[in-house]
Copies of this chain bind each other. A is one copy, B any other.
Amino acid sequence: MRVEELDSPTLTIDLDALDENLDRYQRYYTEHGIGLRPHIKTHKTLAIAAMQMAKGAIGLTCQKVGEAEVMVSGGLAVDILIPFNIIGKPKLERLMALATQTRLTVAADSAYTVRGLAEAAEAAGVTLSVIVEVECGMNRTGVQTPQEATELAKLIDKSKGLELRGFMGYPTPPASRPIIQETVALFDKAGLSREIVSGGSTRYAFEAHQIPELTEYRIGEYPTGGEGHLRAGRHTVEQCSLRVQATVISKPTADRVILDSGSKTMSASVFQAPHGPSMGYLVEYPDARFYSSSEEHGHVDVSACAKKPEIGERVQVLPVHPCPCVNEHDAIVAVRKGVVEAVWPVYARGKIR
């Protein structure tokens, strides 16, 4: 079956582009002696996770316990990091069960999280690996200073049931190196383990070597690309492997076409493109502006296009943010040279717990 024969909208991934992306990034990390720990939250599939491991990844990153459960139950009982504060009895019990099935490490940024992990580990008779998250510029989670990171590491180190393994940051641009260096120095001074110094973000993926203290790197979007990566020059159009096969279903004016792919297909994510807000990039119409969407309609301004798409025409759209886009779909259709080779269930879709 050819890709054009798939009903629309359908999410597809180009296998040649995927393979090239996986190789290109793995090669960089191998060359620099940094462990690559892909974040599966982007693709949410067992198929791509298995490919990443086969290419040389040291393990996987999962953002929620449910994602890690999918990986382990799908045969990928590999070294897994969950860089998330896991809180509350139901999830802690599931976490301890997982820890008996695979090499598991979680992150913490508070004494509250650490105490919960320690109590659950002791109750389950499990030794759980923990790293500290330190603020590196995201202003999301993470203790605020290397000093606080060291204090929290000491608490982990002395907690029964827990094993301190190091620390992490997100994102870790080269400018964050002083924080990482200071944390390393303080950990060393206190005699704390830092076998894991974990950085992350596809945006800075090829700058990881500028922070030699890093032992591993977490990146999610490199297999797929997307409009942001395209416009930043990190992926060519060809390297943007993930695409929504969409259809023009209306052309109410000469300059506006409506796609059958709205926020329920693309996700509601918005990218600030040079021309303004964008909800997707039309491969065949680079001058088109996907400026807005409703749940089931994509609103596209084609005034700048020399040739304009017509009703019934099929177009390929790059998502602006691949992770939530994939989360809208139950399956990704894997295509090579325009021919369907496989249908991959998005097994880790919707794992919010």
Residues of A within 8 A of B (CB): 7-10, 41, 63-64, 84-88, 90-91, 109-110, 112-113, 116, 135, 139-144, 247, 249-253, 256, 258, 260-261, 263-265, 267-270, 294-297, 299, 311-312, 321, 323-324, 327-330, 350, 352-353
A87-B7 contact given A140-B297, A329-B350, CB 8 Å threshold: no
Contact of A352 with B9 in the complex, beta carbons under 8 Å:
yes
Q: Which of B41, B87, B258 contacts A247 (CB 8 A)?
A: B87
A261 to B88, alpha carbons, bound, how many Å? 14
Q: Which of B10, B141, B143, B312 contacts A258 (CB 8 A)?
A: B141
A252-B297 contact given A8-B88, A327-B328, A352-B264, CB 8 Å threshold: no
Contact of A263 with B85 in the complex, beta carbons under 8 Å:
no
Contact of A312 with B87 in the complex, beta carbons under 8 Å:
yes
Contact of A88 with B7 in the complex, beta carbons under 8 Å:
yes
Q: Can you list 15 contacts pairing A with B, beta carbon distance less than 8 Å?
A: A8-B353, A9-B352, A10-B353, A85-B250, A85-B258, A110-B311, A116-B312, A140-B294, A141-B258, A144-B253, A268-B269, A268-B324, A270-B270, A295-B327, A328-B350
Q: Nearest Cβ distance between residue A295 and chain B, in whole angstroms? A: 6
Q: Which of B8, B113, B250 contacts A110 (CB 8 A)?
A: B250
Q: Which of B7, B144, B295 contacts A252 (CB 8 A)?
A: B144
Q: Which of B109, B311, B324 contacts A264 (CB 8 A)?
A: B324
Contact of A353 with B268 in the complex, beta carbons under 8 Å:
no
Give chain B residues whose Cβ lies under 8 Å from the Cβ of A324. Answer: 263-264, 268, 295
Q: Nearest Cβ distance between residue A351 and chain B, in whole angstroms? A: 9
Nearest to A138 among chain B residues (CB) is: B294
A323 to B350, alpha carbons, bound, how many Å? 16
Give chain B residues whose Cβ lies under 8 Å from the Cβ of A109. Answer: 250, 252
A258 to B133, alpha carbons, bound, how many Å? 14
